[in-house]
Chains A and B, each alone.
Chain A
Amino acid sequence: MTDTTIAPGTGSAPAPGTPLLEARGVIMRFGGLTAVNNVDLTVNTGEIIGLIGPNGAGKTTFFNCLTGLYIPTEGQVTYKGTVLPPKPFKVTQAGMARTFQNIRLFHNMSVLENVLVGRHTRTKEGIVSAILRGPGYRREEADSREKAMALLEFTGLARKASHLARNLPYGEQRKLEIARALASEPGLLLLDEPTAGMNPQETRATEELVFAIRDRGIAVLVIEHDMRFIFNLCDRVAVLVQGEKLVEGTSEVVQADERVIAAYLGTPYEAAPGSTADAGSGADAGSRADADSGSASDAEGTIPEEDEQ
């Protein structure tokens, strides 16, 4: 692939570690509609896994099943060997943090406060100690602030710590969402289209940010439409089409797979599931993939996907 970044590409990834997240046979039905059908996915420690697929393929729904926002109709999700409780806040407590496809910051809180909210699960002072303000409370609050500022430093937002989140430019709002998620000290970070709406420079910066996060020992599962971003970044890529996992493997394997090209990347292929339904977007994706593979063009490889929540 046209690798213009200095980041370690697919080849130089560390050897996969122990399984961190294991989804087994996850099925999510909404009435008669099966949005996610029997999907298996494993994320090992130290890995960056990509999740791609056409619009409406069920990627965000699958994400929501992983993070407790939805309770899967069938199947189970385990994190570090224990079954995840079906409550978002318990999932975060367990060590999985996420960002949202449509940015969901606390708009009227400052940048620093947003990150401090992310520290919620790693702090425990209650209402009484908040009112009494004993030494334990002060220590914890100071510690939280220090860690939050360190994360803002890490994402390059430190000098905007006291700005309101709503006043940040778009790209920085995405970064702040990542910083907020990192504040919960996760073992696995789930990013839902982190580069949507970004220009190529910002996309590249995000790429480097994701590598830096991986280097901190945090595994990353990322949904993206930007193929160059995904294939540069990920150790493995899973392709979701019409709720089913079509193929999973390294970038090379996925890019070479005929069904993937048909469904998502390139020319129409009659036998593939969803080829007729997704004809329009398939064509779009095809032209974009051509541009991507042809040269290091700056074409934005993103499709805004409607909110699936």
Chain B
Amino acid sequence: MTETTTTPATAPRPALPLPETAARGLVAVGGLATAASAFLSWTYSSSFPGDLTVTGYPGGLQWVTLVAGALVLLFALSGYRIRGLRWLTPGGADGATVIVAVGALATTWFTLIAIADELGGLANLTSGGWIAGIASLLGLLGALGLPRDRTESGEKNPLKRILAYPGNRPDLSPAPALPAAVELLVIAVAVAIGLGIFTFGIDTSYGELFGGFLIAASFASWALSRSGALGRLTDITGRHRVYSAVLAFVAAAVFPFTQSNDANATIGVNLLIFGGTALGLNVVVGLTGLLDLGYVAFLGVGAYTAALVSGAATSSVHVTFPFWAAALTGAAISGIFGIILGAPTLRVRGDYLAIVTLGFGEIFRIVVNNLDGVSGPNVTGGPNGIPNIPDLTIFGFNLGNSHTIGGITLGRFANYFELMLVFIAIIVLIFSRSSSSRIGRAWVAIREDETAATAMGINAFRFKLLAFALGATLAGLAGTVMAHVNFSVVPDPFVFAGPVPPNSAFLLAAVVIGGMGTVTGPLIGAALFYLLQAKLQFLQSYQLLLFGIALILFMRFRPEGLIANKQRRLEFHEDETESAELSTAGA
């Protein structure tokens, strides 16, 4: 497979000197055995969560191992150049096989170690557990004997050498067009799988399961990206943008119907609020390139505005707006605050702007803390905030009550989840349309080179102010829902940094990690952050430490974010891509 490399001097050698056929066979057998071992009993005691004692049916973490083993098998078979499977691995199957084999080993051994650790010793493992461990190891050994399909870089750093072992993400020409019906089907399947993975992740009821899930999901997405499958999927969704977007929203709307209780819907609705706010911040940071460190204040302005006009007994303004009016008011007031803040501060560039916005964020929180009738006029209720915000009633449909639709009961938070989804759709529409217009081009031009942008006739100050105002408006919109979801509005969440999203630091991290300037990036970044935060509670105070470490590693090795738009990918990895072009047809 690698015999035809143009630079034979640096042809990479596999880590283990196995004959190719033996290596391929070993991976396939290892993958199959790993998947099969999930049906065995791994331990004697049912006190390990998930009950891994049943032979013939996988439970808990065994599901994760099953999927990981199946993926190893899939990539191994693709390495045999089986026709249909080759389509999944346009960038080469062998590198991806190594990644997914490591993932299968990691998640299986993670489970075994967790069993041994919690139940007190290796004696708790049955022969099934040992088989699983050995099978996944065999798969990895085989994978390390596979030929490597990229030339080796002269990297000295051992960690980078290891990370570079499977090779870089392929830079492929766009996927050849399939029949339209097939492409639509592929998108539908991908969205369904995405929903399934998300539902599984959010449903994990104990830390061990989430840990194993996280390991497997990370390695699987790395492998899919390495094999070029994700790139193909991106190409296909790019060709059917509206269809993909609609399908994604439908899948999201279906999510509450897959849930038996309201707990996960609570996570879901908060996640959406976080994601919508992150998209608003993306206008400011991702498109226009202005660093805003106090952005969460605009979410607060929206939330407080909605609370004040909600008709709550504790509100100092005794008016009751219908929700559509409250939402518009919250968005508008927030946008006005954006202009008030931006007008004096946007005349400074770069670092100074970051400091000023950081200051504004803190000022907002301290001011609402003090407008309690003692230190100042009673507007916000001070530290107690505005409690007992009534539930919304839209077209006679009380969002506070449970409703049964088609035999499935949707609880209060599920109702708000659906409402927030509509808001997200509006925010996504506003974001994507403005970013791909004359306005969006002006924003990106300012980000790229402000002097050149003004020389092209762009009133930089005005457009920066517009970005600030639009970002603030979107955050304010999300804030209006937040006020009702949480029953009350208090100043505490609107801080620069804290353990719970949304706060300014997490919002910024979600945008940067997700991918600046893209639509899906901040949403995925927000989802990841919120899920990690919600699911890793058992780590307690170590959680933020781990977050910090993860952030540093992430920025070191993937600075363009999870969903890089092609431009930024080229920007950061120019030396790694051979043909750095956007277009299909070469010159």
A residues touching B (Cβ–Cβ < 8 Å)? 67, 69, 87-89, 92-93, 97-98, 100, 104-110, 113, 116-121, 123, 125-127, 130-131, 133, 137, 140-141, 144, 159-160, 162-164, 166-167, 180-181, 184, 309
Interface centre among B429, B460, B582 (most CB of A within 10 A): B582
Measured CB to CB, the nearest residue on chain A to B469 is A127
**Shortest beta-carbon distance, A164 to chain B, in Å?**
6
In the assembled complex, which residues on chain A have CB atoms less than 8 Å from the CB atom of B444?
106, 108-109, 113
In the assembled complex, which residues on chain A have CB atoms less than 8 Å from the CB atom of B433?
130-131, 133
A224 to B277 alpha-carbon distance, docked (Å) = 50
Contact yes or no, A108 B581, CB < 8 A? no
A123 to B452 alpha-carbon distance, docked (Å) = 18
Q: Assuming A93-B457, A109-B445, is B582 touching A164 (CB within 8 A)?
A: yes
Q: Assuming A127-B470, A130-B437, is B567 touching A164 (CB within 8 A)?
A: yes
Q: Which of B439, B459, B568, B571 is A89 in contact with, Cβ under 8 Å?
A: B459
In the assembled complex, which residues on chain B have CB atoms less than 8 Å from the CB atom of A117?
441-442, 445, 453, 456, 458
In the assembled complex, which residues on chain A have CB atoms less than 8 Å from the CB atom of B451?
69, 88, 104, 309
| B185 adjacent to chain A (CB < 8 Å) | no
Q: Which of B434, B458, B568, B583 is A120 in contact with, Cβ under 8 Å?
A: B458
Q: Which of A118, A131, A162 is B583 in contact with, Cβ under 8 Å?
A: A162
A140 to B466 alpha-carbon distance, docked (Å) = 21
In the assembled complex, which residues on chain B have CB atoms less than 8 Å from the CB atom of A125?
437-438
**Shortest beta-carbon distance, A37 to chain B, in Å?**
25
Q: Assuming A130-B437, A130-B438, A141-B437, is B457 touching A109 (CB within 8 A)?
A: no
A160 to B567 alpha-carbon distance, docked (Å) = 15
A123 to B587 alpha-carbon distance, docked (Å) = 31
In the assembled complex, which residues on chain B have CB atoms less than 8 Å from the CB atom of A144?
438
Q: List 7 A-B contacts (CB under 8 A).
A: A97-B455, A106-B452, A127-B434, A130-B440, A141-B438, A166-B570, A181-B456
In the assembled complex, which residues on chain B have CB atoms less than 8 Å from the CB atom of A106?
444-445, 448-449, 452-453
Contact yes or no, A184 B452, CB < 8 A? no
A117 to B452 alpha-carbon distance, docked (Å) = 10
Contact yes or no, A92 B457, CB < 8 A? yes
Contact yes or no, A69 B438, CB < 8 A? no
Q: Which of B161-207 contact A (CB under 8 A)?
A: none
| B261 adjacent to chain A (CB < 8 Å) | no
Q: Assuming A127-B439, A130-B438, A164-B570, is B582 touching A110 (CB within 8 A)?
A: yes
**Shortest beta-carbon distance, B419 to chain A, in Å?**
21
Contact yes or no, B453 A108, CB < 8 A? no
**Shortest beta-carbon distance, B72 to chain A, in Å?**
37
A121 to B462 alpha-carbon distance, docked (Å) = 14
Contact yes or no, A163 B581, CB < 8 A? yes
Contact yes or no, A104 B441, CB < 8 A? no
* Contact indicator per residue, chain B 553-587, by CB within 8 Å of chain A (1) or not (0): 00000000000000110110000000011110001
A131 to B11 alpha-carbon distance, docked (Å) = 52
Measured CB to CB, the nearest residue on chain B to A93 is B457
Interface centre among A67, A125, A166 (most CB of B within 10 A): A166
**Shortest beta-carbon distance, A192 to chain B, in Å?**
11
Contact yes or no, A108 B452, CB < 8 A? no
Contact yes or no, B456 A118, CB < 8 A? yes
A93 to B440 alpha-carbon distance, docked (Å) = 19
**Shortest beta-carbon distance, A139 to chain B, in Å?**
13
Contact yes or no, B438 A120, CB < 8 A? yes
Given contacts A109-B445, A162-B583, 7 further A-B contacts (CB under 8 A): A89-B459, A109-B444, A120-B456, A125-B437, A127-B437, A130-B433, A159-B587
| B550 adjacent to chain A (CB < 8 Å) | no
Contact yes or no, B448 A160, CB < 8 A? no
In the assembled complex, which residues on chain A have CB atoms less than 8 Å from the CB atom of B587?
159-160
Contact yes or no, A184 B457, CB < 8 A? yes
In the assembled complex, which residues on chain A have CB atoms less than 8 Å from the CB atom of B429?
131
Measured CB to CB, the nearest residue on chain A to B454 is A88
Interface centre among B429, B439, B456 (most CB of A within 10 A): B456
Measured CB to CB, the nearest residue on chain A to B462 is A89
Q: Which of A119, A137, A140, A167 is B580 in contact with, Cβ under 8 Å?
A: A167
A144 to B383 alpha-carbon distance, docked (Å) = 53
Contact yes or no, A180 B456, CB < 8 A? yes
Contact yes or no, B457 A89, CB < 8 A? yes
Interface centre among B430, B458, B570, B583 (most CB of A within 10 A): B583
Contact yes or no, B455 A67, CB < 8 A? yes
In the assembled complex, which residues on chain A have CB atoms less than 8 Å from the CB atom of B456?
89, 92, 97, 117-118, 120-121, 180-181, 184
Contact yes or no, B582 A163, CB < 8 A? yes
In the assembled complex, which residues on chain A have CB atoms less than 8 Å from the CB atom of B582?
110, 162-164
**Shortest beta-carbon distance, A69 to chain B, in Å?**
7
In the assembled complex, which residues on chain A have CB atoms less than 8 Å from the CB atom of B440?
130
Measured CB to CB, the nearest residue on chain B to A186 is B457
Contact yes or no, A113 B441, CB < 8 A? yes
Identify the 10 closest CB pairs spanning chains A and B, nearest first.
A121-B457, A130-B437, A92-B457, A106-B448, A104-B452, A162-B583, A88-B454, A108-B567, A117-B445, A89-B457
Contact yes or no, B455 A69, CB < 8 A? yes
**Shortest beta-carbon distance, A17 to chain B, in Å?**
25
Contact yes or no, A108 B580, CB < 8 A? no
Contact yes or no, A131 B445, CB < 8 A? no
Contact yes or no, B567 A109, CB < 8 A? yes
**Shortest beta-carbon distance, B144 to chain A, in Å?**
36
A309 to B449 alpha-carbon distance, docked (Å) = 14
Contact yes or no, B438 A163, CB < 8 A? no
**Shortest beta-carbon distance, A104 to chain B, in Å?**
4
A144 to B442 alpha-carbon distance, docked (Å) = 14
Q: Which of B455, B570, B580 is A92 in contact with, Cβ under 8 Å?
A: B455
**Shortest beta-carbon distance, B567 to chain A, in Å?**
4
Q: Assuming A69-B451, A106-B444, A106-B449, is B458 touching A163 (CB within 8 A)?
A: no
A126 to B582 alpha-carbon distance, docked (Å) = 28
A140 to B438 alpha-carbon distance, docked (Å) = 10
Q: Which of B45-89 contact A (CB under 8 A)?
A: none
Contact yes or no, B458 A100, CB < 8 A? no
Measured CB to CB, the nearest residue on chain B to A161 is B583
**Shortest beta-carbon distance, B287 to chain A, in Å?**
12
In the assembled complex, which residues on chain A have CB atoms less than 8 Å from the CB atom of B438?
116, 119-120, 123, 125, 130, 140-141, 144
In the assembled complex, which residues on chain B have CB atoms less than 8 Å from the CB atom of A184?
456-457
In the assembled complex, which residues on chain B have CB atoms less than 8 Å from the CB atom of A133?
433
**Shortest beta-carbon distance, B471 to chain A, in Å?**
12
Q: Which of A107, A119, A121, A126 is B448 in contact with, Cβ under 8 Å?
A: A107
A106 to B444 alpha-carbon distance, docked (Å) = 8
